[in-house]
Structure 1
Amino acid sequence: MIELSWRGRVAVLTLDRPDKHNALTAELCERIRTAVASAAQARALVLTGNGRSFCSGADLDEVHTAGFRDELYRMLHAVTAAPVPVVAAVHGAAIGAGTQLAIAADLRVVSPAARFAVPTARIGLAVDPWTIRRLALLAGHGAARRMLLACDPIDADAALACGLADRPGDLDDALDWAAGMADLAPLTVGYTKRVLGEVFEPGLAGDVATELDAAFEACWASGDFAEGRLSRAEKRPPVFRGR
């Protein structure tokens, strides 16, 4: 389900479910988290996917199961907390949890076919406050609002224009960029990454965090969430009622 290889001092973590467009399961999330930890001696890490997609999101056969959401967020935060630069090489669709994985990385290299989207409102799901804030910090509030409130996708050109993506290119370009980072002073890079995280993504104030977490949980416990699941099983458009 994943491959961990090395290019010099750069670890390359490849999602390997091409038949499922690298859709995330709880097991795959756990394996990614473990692989990130096992690459602790790397000077840089590149994330990519086999096949046509970077990551098509959560496997919809698992997204409603107990434990998937916890494994997803443990994995995302492990990627973000990696002490070395993490580069996502996005060569195709990065949808839902695929966009979350891409923004958990520090930097993104995109091919012309790259596409980002967070269409949770179409199926009655919700992403956590961390995802919304990080997406807005990277892509800007306008792009984040379009992606989250209107479920509009962002293609490679738009991602580069708004700052969601950092460079155009393919996997080789991402590897070359990461190799350059691997030559930099690791203590300086690790310190700088930590400061960027602490300054721009500090923990939310207690009351705000509590209220937002409650609203997030309410989405997952709602009738609309159940309707999204039922409509998929019945192969029909969902009818959401806001409760």
Structure 2
Amino acid sequence: MGDHLRLEFEGAVAHLSIDRADRRNAFNQAMWEAMPGLIEAAVAPPAVRAVILRAAEPGVFCAGADIAEFATKAPDAEWRRVNQAAIARTQIALARAAKPVIAVIDGDCVGGGCGLALAADIRVASPRARFGITPAKLGLVYSLHDTKLLVDLVGPAQAKRILFTAGLLDAAEATRIGLVTMLADDPLPAALALAAQIAATSPFTHRHAKAIVRRILDGESADSPETAALFDSAFTGADFQEGVAAFLAKRAPVFADR
């Protein structure tokens, strides 16, 4: 586990917490390097059905990259290459994690912090959350992968507004344009309730539904032999057998951990 990041397990939920409140949870290079392994560890236990990405303390989600570190080291081209590779690995690991990822956002979610939230499957925010992507304030360019995550959520026009202005959106506006999935006065209990709903349904469905949505977002529009075979094979799977048995018996299904 990396410094300033914590991974804890609570029943069917893995909690991945950012714990650097004195720096508004800003990410340094060591944190970017540690995140992909923590995401992998979070989804590895069969009993885990959902991952919650959140701040260890309420009040701020993540202020983005550690600008003090960045300003000192960014002139070094090799450091920039390593830094960008670590950020990309983190974003890809979150966006393609094998299990649902819910970001809980209570406070500011800016720059690289907003990139983390974009890579989650679902974003649950409090009314005091604020969102911004700020490369334009530094004369920088947002990466293509992260920009695509933003465009996938809010569309190209809203993405351009966010990137051109580098302004902060309040939680209500972020919800209106699709950046936030759910708005809740107390977002962590709301996210836990959502995770409980997820845990009651098929992990086989979760894994493959997430992968198919990703295929669609990456440009596929018709079934391939692989996805057609997946659809067909599900009818002989253990989760389908349990789902049908539970429906006929008028009971809640109990899907096996795997």
TM-score using structure 2 length: 0.75
Q: Which secondary structure state, in structure 2, belongs to the residue aligned with residue 140 of structure 1? A: helix
Show the counterpart of 2:7.
4
Show the counterpart of 2:226.
none
Show the counterpart of 1:58.
65
Question: Does 2:176 match 1:161?
Answer: yes
Specify which of 11, 33, 36 is matched with residue 33 of structure 1: 36
* TM superposition shift of 1:61: 2.3
* TM superposition shift of 1:156: 0.4
Runs of 5+ unmatched residues, structure 1: 204-243
Question: Does 2:210 match 1:193?
Answer: yes
Show the counterpart of 1:177.
194
Letter matched to residue 153 of structure 2: L
* TM superposition shift of 1:201: 2.2
Looking at structure 2, the residues matched to 140 and 37 of structure 1 have their Cα atoms a distance apart, in angstroms, of 29
Show the counterpart of 2:113.
98
Looking at structure 1, the residues matched to 180 and 190 of structure 2 have their Cα atoms a distance apart, in angstroms, of 13
Looking at structure 2, the residues matched to 57 and 44 of structure 1 have their Cα atoms a distance apart, in angstroms, of 24
Show the counterpart of 2:17.
14
Looking at structure 2, the residues matched to 74 and 125 of structure 1 have their Cα atoms a distance apart, in angstroms, of 20
CA contact (8 A) 2:114 2:133 kept: yes
Q: Which secondary structure state, in structure 1, belongs to the residue aligned with residue 149 of structure 2? A: helix
CA contact (8 A) 1:96 1:117 kept: yes
RMSD: 1.4
Question: Does 2:54 match 1:48?
Answer: yes
Q: Which secondary structure state, in structure 2, belongs to the residue aligned with residue 147 of structure 1? A: helix
Q: Which secondary structure state, in structure 1, belongs to the residue aligned with residue 7 of structure 2? A: strand
4+ runs of 1 displaced by more than 4 Å? Answer: none
CA contact (8 A) 2:91 2:146 kept: no
Show the counterpart of 1:233.
none
Larger Rg: 2
Looking at structure 2, the residues matched to 29 and 183 of structure 1 have their Cα atoms a distance apart, in angstroms, of 32
CA contact (8 A) 1:90 1:109 kept: yes
CA contact (8 A) 1:88 1:102 kept: yes
Looking at structure 1, the residues matched to 219 and 155 of structure 2 have their Cα atoms a distance apart, in angstroms, of 18
Show the counterpart of 1:228.
none
Looking at structure 2, the residues matched to 99 and 21 of structure 1 have their Cα atoms a distance apart, in angstroms, of 13
Show the counterpart of 2:253.
none
After TM superposition, the structure 1 = structure 2 runs for residues 86-235 of structure 1, keeping only pairs within 5 Å, are: 86-169=101-184, 170-202=187-219
CA contact (8 A) 1:25 1:68 kept: no
CA contact (8 A) 2:32 2:87 kept: yes
Question: Does 2:86 match 1:83?
Answer: no
Q: What fraction of aligned residue pairs are identical, expressed as a percent?
A: 33
Looking at structure 1, the residues matched to 219 and 115 of structure 2 have their Cα atoms a distance apart, in angstroms, of 18
